[in-house]
Amino acid sequence: MSVLRTRPARRALAATVALGALGSVVLTAGAASAAPGSSGPAMARSVTALAVPAPGTSGPAPDLQGLKTALQGVVTAGSPGAFARVSTAGSADRGVSVGTGDLSAKTPVDPDGQFRVGSITKNFTAVLVLQLVAQGKVNLDAPAAGYLAPGVLPANSAITVRELLNHTSGLYDYTNDILAGDTIPGYQNFRYKVYKPEDLVAQALAHGSQFTPGARYQYSNTNFVVLGLLVEHLTGQPYAKVLGDRILTPLGLTHTRFIVPSTGIGGPHAIGYLTDDDRTKPMLDATAQTGSWIWTAGAAISSTADLNTYWRALTGGRLLPAAQLAEMEKMSPVDTTSGYGLGLREYKLSCGTEVYGHDGIVEGYQTYSYTTKDGRRQLTVSANASNNTAIFAAERKALDPVFCGAPAPAASASAFTADATRIAHEETTGLPARSLQR
């Protein structure tokens, strides 16, 4: 017997952003198990009731069956579970979940659960920096050292704020050191440590500059730790308070938090699993950690609903003036299907649609969270397992059904998989610097 559950509508955003009701009606796993393409009752899933958008308002209607197929592919790739939320202006939210949030209890994934968002945190940090730009407190093209406490960067450093934001600073990524070696033993060594962000930056500086600032692109978590220190120095407040005062509270993001060095997630959540390098060995429950090792580059916690609300607010002008939003959206191509702006990634999909957002990989969770440029549709999809690039690549296949209305053709899907694998390595093990494609 199916049980209907209606999710309360979230607080409406400003009138400048066209939003529909965000309630959702969810079928239980028992009802969903008979859905076409089901792999059997052992794999729990839920699908929200569909609501077709008005013609011409947000492109093709999202292909929810295609999304569910993509999530099943995520589980096949090795994640215990996967869950997603689609938000479209003028329609009800739709959620899909597949698999389990707990390998021991075999409980279904809760599509409303919270998770570690990893590098999606970078966009929060970028917004805070660009708000300071809008206030006249920061010049994007001035040396960042002038906005930091003495000693964070060398006094004569030429690295600009913009170069930190778009990963062209030449700063070594200190996480390459922390994450080196065997994955699970290494994680056990640092998961409960409390690092000082200044020490993380110093560790990166010890490696010297990787290239002349502004000359090349190389993704580096160090950049966004420096930017977090910049936010704290200029505001005189802890990053968590600034984030709360300027973004979370105004938008009503009650399931989003930055609680470093507390080790819990703080709300209902799926267990996050770390895959062993030896796939024959069991996964590790990696949920608890201080997050201090990744700090303002990746330690935030959120939910699919909150992240979709966040992207609507950002693209709708609630967080940044038009001039600073335009700066954020200045993209440099990184590969055949993606580009990077100021703390913002862009994907070009098989139908030609371009979406903005960010990916996140952190122990236990891998996430994509994206929006159309006009803010009329968002997708957040997360898997509760990490250290497996096949999972991340499988999640990438969720974008086209939602934003294009159909899965990507085989030729495009192959290119997307290759680029997703590259990005997974970029965000974890690091990649050599790449020439800028202007």
For the annotated catalytic residues, the residue numbers are: 119
Q: How far is CA 422 from CA 179, 377, 392, 412, in A?
A: 17, 26, 10, 16
Please report how the helices 410-427 and 389-396 are oriented relative to each other, as an axis angle in degrees rounded to 10. 130
As a whole number of angstroms, the distance between CA 186 and CA 179 comes to 7
Read out DSSP for 196-261?
-HHHHHHHHHTT--SS-TTSEE---HHHHHHHHHHHHHHHSS-HHHHHIIIIIHHHT-TT-B--TT
Counting Cα atoms < 13 Å in the Cβ hemisphere of 24 gives 22
Q: Which two tokens stand for residue 343?
A: 């703390």
As a whole number of angstroms, the distance between CA 251 and CA 318 comes to 9
Q: Which of 236, 237, 234 is nearest to 139 (CA)?
A: 234
Cα 42–chain centre separation:
29
Q: 256-291: string of b/e by CB count within 10 Å (b at 16+)?
A: bbbebeeeebebebbbbbbbbeeeeeebbebbbbbb
CB atoms within 10 A of CB 135: 10
> Do residues 398 and 71 lie in contact, with contact meaning Cβ atoms separated by under 8 Å?
yes
> Do residues 41 and 49 lie in contact, with contact meaning Cβ atoms separated by under 8 Å?
no
Q: Which of 211, 227, 79, 221 is nearest to 153 (CA)?
A: 227
Q: Which of 362, 378, 382 is nearest to 370 (CA)?
A: 378
> Do residues 70 and 63 lie in contact, with contact meaning Cβ atoms separated by under 8 Å?
no
